[in-house]
Chains A and B, each alone.
Chain A
Amino acid sequence: MPTVYVTYTPKNNGKPPENLISAQAGKETLQLVPVEIGSDKLNCIQAAQRAGVFIPHYCWHPALTVVASCRMCLVEVGERKPDGSIAMTGKLVPGCQTPVKDGTVVVTNSQKVVHEQAQTLESLLLNHPLDCPVCDKAGECLLQDYTYEFGRATSRMIDLKNTPANKPDLGPNIALFTDRCIMCSRCVRFTREIAGTAELQIINRGNHSEIDIFPGEPLDNKLATNVVDLCPVGALCSKDFLYKHRVWNLKTQNSVCPDCSTGCSIHLDGNKNIVYRLRPRENPQAQGYFMCDEGRLGYHYINSKERFLRPLRRQDGKLTPFSYDEAIRTVRQMLKDAVAKDAFGVVVVLSPFLTCEEAFLLAKYAKSLSKAVQLALGPVPIVGEDDTYPKDRRGRPIQPVKFTIRAEKCPNRQGVERILRHYQGQLIAFDEVVRQAEAGKLQLLYLAASYPPRGDGWLTAEQAATLGKVGQVILHDLYPSRASEIAHVVIPGGAFAEKDGTFVNHAGLAQAIHWAITPTGECRTEGQVVLDLMQRPGLLHAATLRKELASEVKAFAALASGDLGEYGILLDSTK
């Protein structure tokens, strides 16, 4: 097996790894951690990472080309001969640009390396304003972190610092704090290699270099805000989040973006029951490293004041609030009566925004009332066509595709469909429900909708008019809409940030979502309401339900452990 050797740096309280070996390099004794790399093509940073050693780096990013310009990752390399002796090259090399092979020795902690790291940081800080108190990145800034760990405490700069003007309108969503930039060029490479639109460039030379755009061509593409995450410092800031909060106050949960069926893995940052931002979370199985701006900035509806906060029922034509206990009792009774009268006339519509657990509970509950109750899939929002990146300057897609924004604007059609197929046999589309309503065959409609407010709303005016003819409409939704106008009972819905559960993306990847905030007002999530309807005691526990789902629905058998891990689990192929 090809093996690479990385120097071991004793960690606080950490035990040295068991396979540590001592080797002689000239006069020095090196403590080395061997790592097997198989046939992987790795650079020193990646090899060291596998050995549990961190090499600081700025310009290198696994999704971008290597430029080796920041010099933060300098290491010494050598070779371990078959006889166990080590020959060092004696030079500092950028770890990001140096591939490792069998026998490579990576020295990350020699005096030379440590000195060089401090030098690099000092020079990066020469013109840096150090306005951390007002910098949005403070707390997650790599310049802060590395300076703390690898840098020196003082600067020897005695001249005036450069103070280039800020560019608050670099793009509609992005501001550039020019003086904080460390010229790693990650942002430039992103716009050239991933977005392809190439809005960004470096102008001027030497310590007057600046990131800039062509006049009148702002950084405005559907992936643009990714440069904010890529920027290791506070130079590029998202205007949506700017000055809203300090990052150390945010509590982060792993979740999945609900805005299209790509199902980008995300970090959901919230505090005090407010969602502050969404950030992409690296997931090789889902989308890679990035996410689109539509998803990233599409969360504001969660914090909106206009949401339904309490259950409502129609009295004298107006929706009036009533208690949850009563709501649950009423809905249960309505369903029971309707099923007793004509079970075929009862339709439960499951939106593709429900989690698998919720869809499972609801389907199971509906079928337990009577096998004849029909389960249907709610409208699946489709907007335009799949949009792939990179694009060229004229907006034409280029191969190979590095990121796809899908036309299907919902997170869990795949999951809900699988459950519907299991319980209903064939899939009943929403149009079919509307047709049945038109024909006057329906007497009760249970709409588990909870669509985020997008475009013209999830129900067209004609559909609403037709469904309005149904005798009883029970609705779960987030907002007043055409649907709530025809509903007889409205139960507030939960947003994805308030739910624990599973979303299945376009490729059949089941990923876990976790709640970052509790439901607003008195709200209960759909899953909790169905549990209450079923008279199952307790709160919704996603892992338990997932196990139950895996044992009852064959399509979900892969989730039997209940734990989806960080990256999710691929269900069987969809086609």
Chain B
Amino acid sequence: MPIPESDVKWVKTPTIGWVEQMYIPAIVEGLRTTVRHSIATLFGSGARTQEFPEVEPKLPANYRGVHRLNRDEKGRVKCVACYMCSTACPAHCIDIVAAPAPKEWQSDPVHGYPREKYPETFVIDELRCIYCGMCEQACPVDAIELTTLYDLTGLSREDMIFDKEKLLAVFDETTKPDAKYPNPIRTRSGKLGPASELPPDQGLTFSSTAQS
């Protein structure tokens, strides 16, 4: 659907005069910040650097680091291979090959619905990724998440192309009881999204189902 004209706001680039064009005010402004930080670091308590890796940084829980592929209650990959993440991904770094789910999954309904489709392969190129989190937002079943795992290194480019097993391993690593990485707070990790769940058949309330 095209965007209606009424929703489009036209923004003009501000014109800059000759003073700004010389960039001197901008340079002065930048230097001021630098000097302020240097003084604060040298004489004050405003040190911004950390002694990594001896001191591990405390990252906020909404930090977007390495991806993980979540597992459902039965330990199977939760992803339903809908390609929403790869469609949303601005870096085109997700590659999925879908297939009908294994026979046992199809006949054994876990959440009311049997699993019909699953990713045969699921690959993310972590080097091409820009860690924007769009994939996480697009996923209808909260299967893909960006964890707070930040110290991501590899010895080759191939090492950094994460396949399904590796992404599931990140899940196992980050959900261990003693995991040092806090769980990401953006998604409802653990619970399946509305697309893969039946409406609850107990304790029905109007408001809880009205939005599904």
Contact = CB atoms under 8 A, between A and B. Distances in A.
Interface of A: 12-13, 129-134, 138, 148-149, 154-158, 160-161, 163, 166, 242-246, 248-249
A226 to B, nearest CB: 23
Contact of B112 (A134, A163, A242): A163
B63 to A, nearest CB: 27
Contacts of B81: 134, 243
A133 B80 contact: yes
A243 B199 CA distance: 25
B113 A160 contact: no
Given A243-B98, A244-B98, A161 B198 contact: yes
B119 to A, nearest CB: 10
B5 A134 contact: no
A137 to B, nearest CB: 13
B206 A158 contact: yes
A243 B100 contact: yes
Kindly name the residue among A149, A243, A248, A249 whose own CB sees the greatest number of chain B CB atoms within 10 A: A243
B199 A161 contact: yes
B195 A131 contact: yes
A13 B2 contact: yes
B13 interface: no
Interface stretch (B43-51, B82-90, B123-131): B82-90
B84 A133 contact: yes
A13 B5 contact: yes
Contacts of B87: 246, 248-249
A309 B201 CA distance: 58
Given A130-B195, A133-B82, A12 B4 contact: yes
23 contacts: A13-B4, A13-B5, A131-B113, A133-B80, A133-B140, A133-B141, A133-B195, A134-B81, A134-B82, A134-B117, A154-B211, A156-B210, A158-B209, A163-B113, A163-B198, A166-B116, A242-B100, A243-B98, A244-B98, A246-B82, A246-B83, A248-B87, A249-B83
Contact of A134 (B80, B201, B206): B80
B99 interface: yes
Contact of B116 (A134, A245, A249): A134
B201 to A, nearest CB: 6
A155 B141 contact: no
A162 to B, nearest CB: 11
A13 B1 CA distance: 12
B212 interface: yes
The 9 closest A-B pairs by CB, nearest first: A133-B82, A134-B117, A246-B83, A243-B98, A12-B4, A133-B140, A133-B195, A134-B80, A12-B2
A352 B186 CA distance: 60
A248 B99 CA distance: 18
Contacts of A244: 98
Interface of A is mostly: loop
Nearest to A129: B113
B204 interface: yes
Q: Which interface class (under 10, 10 to 19, 20 to 34, 35 or more) fits B?
A: 20 to 34
A132 B100 contact: no
Contacts of A156: 210
A163 B76 CA distance: 23
A129 B80 CA distance: 15
Nearest to B116: A134
Contacts, number: 66
B198 A160 contact: yes
A155 B212 contact: yes
B99 A160 contact: no
Contacts of B98: 243-245
Nearest to A243: B98
A138 B84 CA distance: 11
B179 to A, nearest CB: 28
Contacts of A160: 198-199, 201
B99 A243 contact: yes
Contacts of B113: 129, 131, 163
Contacts of A134: 80-82, 116-117
Contacts of B204: 158
Interface in B1-26: 1-5
Contacts of A248: 87
Given A131-B113, A243-B100, 5 more contacts: A131-B196, A155-B210, A158-B204, A242-B100, A246-B87
A154 B208 CA distance: 12
Contacts of A158: 199, 204, 206, 209-210
A248 B83 CA distance: 10
A537 to B, nearest CB: 35
A401 to B, nearest CB: 38
Interface in B36-62: none
A249 B98 CA distance: 14
Interface string B184-212: 00000000000110110100101001111
A159 B100 CA distance: 29
A243 B117 contact: yes
B195 A12 contact: no
Interface string B70-101: 00000000001111100100000000001110
A163 B197 CA distance: 12
Contacts of B140: 132-133
A134 to B, nearest CB: 4
A160 B113 CA distance: 13
A129 B113 CA distance: 9
Nearest to A246: B83
A521 B207 CA distance: 58
Contacts of A131: 113, 116, 195-196
B84 to A, nearest CB: 7
A553 B136 CA distance: 60
Contacts of B80: 133-134
Contacts of A155: 210, 212
A246 B112 CA distance: 25
Nearest to B115: A134
A132 B195 contact: yes
Contacts of B82: 132-134, 138, 246
A403 to B, nearest CB: 31
Nearest to A242: B100
A309 B83 CA distance: 31
A526 B204 CA distance: 67
Nearest to B82: A133
A126 to B, nearest CB: 12
A164 to B, nearest CB: 12
